[in-house]
């Protein structure tokens, strides 16, 4: 069963983790350019890391982490430095989300990728280089271990360990209060929006 897309306040994400190692993994690797021709984002999940997965399919080291059976259903992605660099395509976090990723922990993120993730309710928290290596090692050692990312506490726990993470105050507030979810905010304030429309002549004409 597909994991429901996030909405409203996001205080924690719990699930198994998948490790994708490497610095400077850009958005073209996350979702190759040929998939940008889609009209909607719905079918992007299977295309996440498509070229990397195809390249590793026959490699001696084995398949890409996204193709390993033990990682199917993983919801926390563990990466390294400058993840999501390159072009600003919002398809990258969309593909990850539709594959099943609900949170990302890494050493650092490209700014636009980070913002696109926040707009989808995908928390991106950071750890030190040494901390990230330890987290990845723990997840790789026990792929079935459940991890919990606590947004408010800025921590990740699992495999009988816990690590301190970093998340700026602004994104932390947006996630914990649901302010990241623009659609839900609009729906929750429908009466106020209708009152505003009624006060603006150029909008009231179309609403009549």
pLDDT at 1: 37
pLDDT of the chain, 208 residues: tens digit per residue: 346 677 789 999 999 999 999 999 999 999 999 898 877 888 899 999 999 999 999 888 889 999 999 999 999 999 999 999 998 889 999 999 999 999 999 999 999 999 999 999 999 999 999 999 999 999 999 999 999 999 999 999 999 999 999 999 999 999 999 888 766 666 665 676 667 777 787 766 655 5
Q: CA-CA-CA-CA torsion for 135, 171, 176, 11, nearest 10 degrees?
A: -10
pLDDT at 164: 98
DSSP 8-state secondary structure symbol assigned to residue 4: P
Where do the domains of the chain lie, and which CATH numbers do they carry? 12-177 (3.20.19.10), 178-208 (no CATH)
pLDDT at 43: 86
């Amino acid at each position: 069963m597909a994991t429901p897309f996030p909405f409203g306040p996001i205080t924690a994400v719990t699930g198994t983790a998948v490790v994708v190692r490497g610095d400077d993994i850009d958005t073209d690797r996350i979702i190759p350019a040929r998939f940008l021709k889609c009209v909607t984002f719905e079918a992007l999940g299977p295309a996440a890391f498509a070229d990397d997965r195809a390249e590793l399919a026959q490699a001696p080291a084995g398949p890409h982490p996204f193709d390993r059976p033990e990682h199917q259903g993983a919801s926390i992605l563990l990466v390294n430095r400058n993840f999501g660099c390159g072009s600003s395509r919002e398809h990258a976090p969309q593909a990850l989300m539709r594959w099943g990723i609900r949170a990302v922990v890494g050493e650092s993120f490209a700014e636009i990728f980070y913002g696109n993730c926040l707009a989808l309710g995908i928390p991106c928290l950071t750890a030190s280089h040494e901390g990230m290596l330890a987290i990845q090692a723990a997840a790789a050692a026990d792929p079935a271990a459940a991890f919990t990312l606590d947004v408010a506490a800025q921590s990740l726990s699992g495999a009988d360990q816990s690590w301190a993470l970093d998340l700026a105050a602004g994104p932390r507030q947006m996630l914990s209060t649901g302010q990241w979810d623009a659609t839900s905010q609009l729906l929750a304030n429908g009466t106020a929006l209708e009152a505003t429309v009624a006060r603006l002549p150029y909008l009231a004409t179309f609403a009549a």
